[in-house]
Structure formats: structure tokens, C-alpha cells
Amino acid sequence: MLDREYDNQVCSIARSLEVVGERWSLLIIRNVGLGMNRFEPLRENLGITRSVLTTRLGTLIEYGILEKRQYSEKPPRFEYHLTAKGRDLSPVLLQLMWWGDEYYPEPGGPPTIAVHRTCGGDLDHHMVCRKCGESVEPDRVYMKPGPGRNKQDLPKIPA
Amino acid sequence: MLDREYDNQVCSIARSLEVVGERWSLLIIRNVGLGMNRFEPLRENLGITRSVLTTRLGTLIEYGILEKRQYSEKPPRFEYHLTAKGRDLSPVLLQLMWWGDEYYPEPGGPPTIAVHRTCGGDLDHHMVCRKCGESVEPDRVYMKPGPGRNKQDLPKIPA
DNA sequence: AGGGTCAGTCGCATGAACGAACTGACCGGG
DNA sequence: CCCGGTCAGTTCGTTCATGCGACTGACCCT
């Protein structure tokens, strides 16, 4: 990057990390983005304590990254969904994903691939679609399982 | 991103976060990338404990993100530098920066701007150079202070 | 000899996370 | 009607990571 002088903590990265830098936050955001919207599945998948999940969901809601929706009245049950602000974190998650794939690859290939929603091509690490060449905006991306994914879980994605 | 089913923790993001997800790690990487290569300046800038900085530097070295170089023999003194693996985290840092600028802007504008080293143009959030249109690789990027930067600190960068 | 810097280590107090149990509102079956 | 089960939490005790401050040791300068 640079090899020059440097100054103060007026830093956008530090501000971002205050919001999403806590343990579990980015993984929660990722899972919610993939459609895992309820408490118990999140808890089980992440292997996280209920209390920690409760507080993380709470702070992410405070920050406007998630919103809580009630989907059942009689037993009060809730779902968590990404806001636009939360969805805009997908480039961060994608870059983390690509870095991980580069330096800690799964033997069988990447477990997850980013796909351009409108044309179905997959993305390179500049978020340019390899098929149509378009520079893809965060909300036009979805994820699909790649070759490194576990055995029998191949949820067919409606292309 | 997606609103579909989801599976297991075979996740590149989780793997990445195990390496760089600890408190302070990304900020240390950012500062080292900006040329802050020594212990005491890092400590002072981050407002971090010496012991925590020591252990963070240690694990980042273990992970191959930083390397330690001795620059003085007689009083043994060291510098920390990014490896290629560490430099490849810059897209992650850039995306975090842009997200922070978007949702937590500095009143005077962004404090830091990403610049294409070879032509001097600045980058959009696809890492495409606004001047020459090239899709810029991580190691061709440097940072320069933007309008939101603190008063008197304007290190002139050799373009 | 005395003060200052740099790069740490050590010890103690506080705070966050983990594990496991408990709650409370429901549902479905026998 | 009682029993077991799910879902979304809360509470509690223990461990682990951080923060704060002091101390060390090797120098350097005056």
C-alpha cells in the first residue's frame, strides 16, 4: 500500500470495525444474508451461546444493519433481515472470502461462489462478471455452493 | 445476497476471520501497510496495551501476514513489514473503508483516498481507476490523505 | 551518573465469552 | 389433561482476553 508517513485515528476502517468488528458480527451478517433469518438456526450453525447471539443481534439492530420482523403473533417469533446498510457490507465479505480462498483453500475448490444475479456468470475479485463483463453492484450478487462444499448439501438455486 | 437455504461452516469468511478477525489485527495491518513499522508508534497510535500489541504482532507473524526485521543490532530493534499475504488484505481494508465513508462519513469528506500508483487517479469502490479506467490490483494502490483529514498533517506523497 | 527511548514482560482488575441450566409461551399427541 | 418438544430468550458461574500500570534491560546522549 504505502510506505510513507501516517497520522491519526481519523480512520474509516476503525469506524467500520467498531460497528462490525466484534466477534461473530460478520458471520451473523453473512448467514442472515444467505437466508438464515431465525435465532435457533443461527445459534446452531455458528456454535455460539444464546446470550452472545442475543446481544450481537441487538447491537446489529441498533446499528441499523439488521431489522427484526415478527412472523408469528401467538407464540411471538421473530426473523432477522439485512437492511440496505447491511447488504452493502457484502463487498467486505466477498473480499474476505476471496482472501481466505487464496490462502486457506478448501482441497476441493472454493465452497462458495459469487454469482451475478442478472446473467448468472460468476465474479472475479474485482466484482466484475466473468460472463457479461459488467461491474456488479453488491445487491446484484448472490452466493452459490462451489465444488469445495460438503457432500449432500446442494440446494438447487433458481438461476 | 441470497434468500435461500444454507449449510455448514465450510466457510472462507470464517477461515479468514480466524486469522484477521481478532481485535486490533486489521488496524495493525492497516497501519503497518501505511508505513508505521515499529512497535512504539503502533502502540501509541492505536492506544493499545503493549502486551496486547506484542501478542498480536506475534500471531500475525505466525500467520505469515507480517514479518519481523531487525534494523539495529546493538540495541536490538525491530521493524514489522507486510508480506505479500498481508498486502493482499488491502481489498478487504478498502471495502471496509468505503463502507465506513458511506455510513459514517467525516464531516469534511473522506480522511483517506485510495490512489492508483501508476497513474495517480483515485479508485471507485470496484477498485477501478477513475482516471485511466484500469482495474487496479491491490499492490498498485496507495493511500493519500483526503479532505476529512486532521489539520496540519499533510505528508506530501511522491506521486 | 542521570535521564530518555525502545521493546518488551509481569501482575492485577475488569469485562467479554463459554457452558449449561432455567423460563415462558406455545404446539401436538395420547 | 399431562407430557414432551420447539423457539427465543435470560441467568449464573467459570474461564479467557483486555486494559492499566509498573518494572526490566539494553542501549544512547550529555
Could you read off the pLDDT of A112-121 as tens digits, one per residue? 899 999 999 9
Residue B151's Cβ-count burial label (10 Å; 0-12, 13-18, 19+) is exposed
Asked if the Cβ–Cβ distance from B99 to A90 is below 8 Å, we say no
Asked if the Cβ–Cβ distance from B27 to A19 is below 8 Å, we say no
Res. A138 pLDDT band, cuts 50 70 90: confident
- Which residues of chain A have a CB within 8 Å of the CB of B19? 103-104
What is the pLDDT, as a whole number, of residue B11?
A: 84
Residue A44 lies in a domain: yes
What is the pLDDT, as a whole number, of residue B3?
A: 34
The answer on pLDDT for A6 being more than 90 is: no
The answer on pLDDT for B28 being more than 70 is: yes
Are the beta carbons of A106 and A148 closer than 8 angstroms? yes
Instruction: Tell me, yes or no, whether A22 and A72 share the same domain.
Output: yes
CATH for A35: 1.10.10.10
**Interchain CB contacts (distance < 8 Å): A and B:** 202
Instruction: Tell me, yes or no, whether A79 and A102 share the same domain.
Output: no
Cα–Cα distances in Å, from A84 out to A22, A96, A108, B99, B105? 20, 20, 33, 12, 17
User: Higher model confidence: residue A92 or residue A157?
Assistant: A92
C-alpha cell, B85: 499475504
Mean pLDDT, chain B, whole residue set: 85
Are the beta carbons of B30 and B80 closer than 8 angstroms? no
- Which residues of chain B have a CB within 8 Å of the CB of A102? 88
Q: How far is the CA of B151 from the C1' of D27 (A)?
A: 36
Question: End of a domain among B86, B113, B136?
Answer: B86
**What digits encode the pLDDT tens for the residues A44-71?**
999 999 999 999 999 999 999 999 999 9
Residue B4 lies in a domain: no
Residue A19 lies in a domain: yes
Instruction: Tell me, yes or no, whether B26 and B48 share the same domain.
Output: yes
Q: In angstroms, rounded to a whole number, what is the distance separating the alpha carbons of residues B34 and B149?
A: 15
The answer on pLDDT for B39 being more than 70 is: yes
How much of chain B exceeds pLDDT 70, in percent? 87
In chain A, the largest separation of any two C-alpha atoms, in whole Å, equals: 61
Query: Which of the nucleotides in strand C have any atom less than 7 Å away from a protein CB atom?
Result: 5-11, 16-21, 25-27
DSSP-derived 3-state class of residue B41:
helix
Residue A6 lies in a domain: no
Would you call B69 an interface residue with chain A, using a CB distance cutoff of 8 Å?
no
Asked if the Cβ–Cβ distance from B112 to A8 is below 8 Å, we say no
Would you call A52 an interface residue with chain B, using a CB distance cutoff of 8 Å?
no
Interface test with A, best of B62, B95, B115 (most A CBs within 10 A): B95
Strand partners, B75: none
Residue A76 lies in a domain: yes
Exposure on the CB side of residue A108, measured as CA atoms within 13 A: 12
What average pLDDT does this structure show over B106-133?
89
Res. B154 pLDDT band, cuts 50 70 90: very low
Res. B62 pLDDT band, cuts 50 70 90: very high
Residue B154 lies in a domain: no
Instruction: Tell me, yes or no, whether B58 and B70 share the same domain.
Output: yes
The answer on pLDDT for A152 being more than 90 is: no
| Structural domain total, chain A | 2
Q: Residue A44 belongs to what domain range?
A: 12-86
Q: In angstroms, rounded to a whole number, what is the distance separating the alpha carbons of residues A72 and A78?
A: 7
Residue A21 lies in a domain: yes
Instruction: Tell me, yes or no, whether B17 and B70 share the same domain.
Output: yes
Instruction: Tell me, yes or no, whether A31 and A52 share the same domain.
Output: yes
